[in-house]
Structure 1
Amino acid sequence: MSSHGPTGDELIGIGETAARFGLAGSTLRYWEERGLISPAERRGRWRRYGPRELHRIGLIQLWRDTGLMSLDEIAAVLAGTVRDRTWRSVVLGRLEMIEEQQRRLAAAKEHLEHFLTCPDEHPADNCPVLREMTDVRLARQSA
């Protein structure tokens, strides 16, 4: 077996598969229950995975960790289309959510950077910029 994974028809068990991805075996079983993966071979309780399944597990982990996708979103992308919702619309929805998070993080960063550089010794009480920020927020909430 190569260090990069099984080749050809080689299959590996759930324990080794889970270890290679830094996952618990229960995670793989849960993903199977959710229909996200299925073993290449199953004999009784024993599950074995090949290159195709390893790729799919890697995609799920990648999308969950770096794409911040939920398992429902991942299931929809893997299925292609679910209830008139295409995988593209799922990905576009996730991108919109990430962009909103980026806007909120940029605003938080700006606020905190100002807080650190405010010349007033007690900026929470006396900073005019922070006072303006809270006044704008209050006006927005009251509207």
Structure 2
Amino acid sequence: MEHLYSISEVARAFGVSVPTLRYYEECGLIQPTARRGRVRHYDRAALEQLAYAQLWHYDGMMPLADTAAIMTSKHAPERHALITAQRDAVQERIDRLSRAAAMLRHMLQCPADHPLSCPVTGAYIHSRVDATLAGEEPPNPPSPTCPHGARPPDAHPHPRTVNAPMRTSAVTSRSHVQRQHGSRGRSETVWPGSGARFCPADHVTV
């Protein structure tokens, strides 16, 4: 006879609470194999169903409602629509976190005594206010272009010269210029009106 696991054993093994397992049952994610008295018990197949639910809910970060819809769907297009929506939401979050990490790296590397005294950060603040008043999307926050104390490998050795053509960004409403450097294709954002175009931490001189 196959071994059955009590609800408390399952909760402890899978790192969830007993009320959570009961709620999963209400959502249709799992069902107990048997009841002994008032205690729910689960067999191996039920545990695999629980692991399958955790795949979507924990690993895929899907809401319980979408998890239940996927687990009960009978056709791939239904699942794919939900998966695509979640993938796009996760990717958007990843992009936001990446921009946040880049901004924080810039702030850590910048030697300015006050962040607003950094020409890159100060120019960004001005551009963000201008974009907001114009009803436009704000520009991306400042980010480091190379490690502190290092000169970009493809930068021209003379600080006032840029050995690359200048082109105007397609997003002209943000009033900034993109410069492409060398065969590496590295780009930097130059915010006009800042009074200076060089952040000591980034070592980007234009």
TM category (shorter chain) comes to 0.7 to 0.9
Task: State the shift of 1:43 in Å.
Answer: 4.8
Deviations 1:25-63 (A, max 9, x none): 111011111111111123552211111110111122233
1:93-104 mapped onto 2 (5 Å cutoff):
93-104=85-96
2:13 is equivalent to residue 20 of structure 1: yes
2:87 is equivalent to residue 63 of structure 1: no
* CA–CA distance in structure 2, aligned partners of residues 113 and 30 of structure 1: 42
| Structure of larger gyration radius | 2
1:128-143 mapped onto 2 (5 Å cutoff):
128-142=119-133, 143=135
Q: Which amino acid aligns with 1:126?
A: S
* CA–CA distance in structure 2, aligned partners of residues 134 and 66 of structure 1: 37
Deviations 1:86-125 (A, max 9, x none): 11111111110111011101111111111111131111x2
RMSD: 2.1
Counterpart secondary structure, 1:108: helix
* CA–CA distance in structure 2, aligned partners of residues 102 and 12 of structure 1: 38
In structure 2, the CA distance between the partners of 1:56 and 1:140, relative to structure 1 (3 Å rule), is farther
Residue 109 of structure 2 corresponds to 117
* CA–CA distance in structure 1, aligned partners of residues 55 and 32 of structure 2: 19
Uncovered stretches (5+) of structure 1, i.e. residues with no partner: 1-7
Task: State the shift of 1:131 in Å.
Answer: 2.0
2:95 is equivalent to residue 108 of structure 1: no
Task: State the shift of 1:81 in Å.
Answer: 5.8
* CA–CA distance in structure 1, aligned partners of residues 74 and 121 of structure 2: 47
* CA–CA distance in structure 2, aligned partners of residues 40 and 79 of structure 1: 18
In structure 2, the CA distance between the partners of 1:20 and 1:115, relative to structure 1 (3 Å rule), is same
Aligned pair partner of 1:90 in 75, 82, 87: 82
Deviates further, 8-17 or 110-119: 8-17
Uncovered stretches (5+) of structure 2, i.e. residues with no partner: 136-206
Q: Which amino acid aligns with 1:27?
A: T
Normalized per residue, the structure richer in helix is 1
Task: State the shift of 1:141 in Å.
Answer: 2.8
Counterpart secondary structure, 1:47: strand
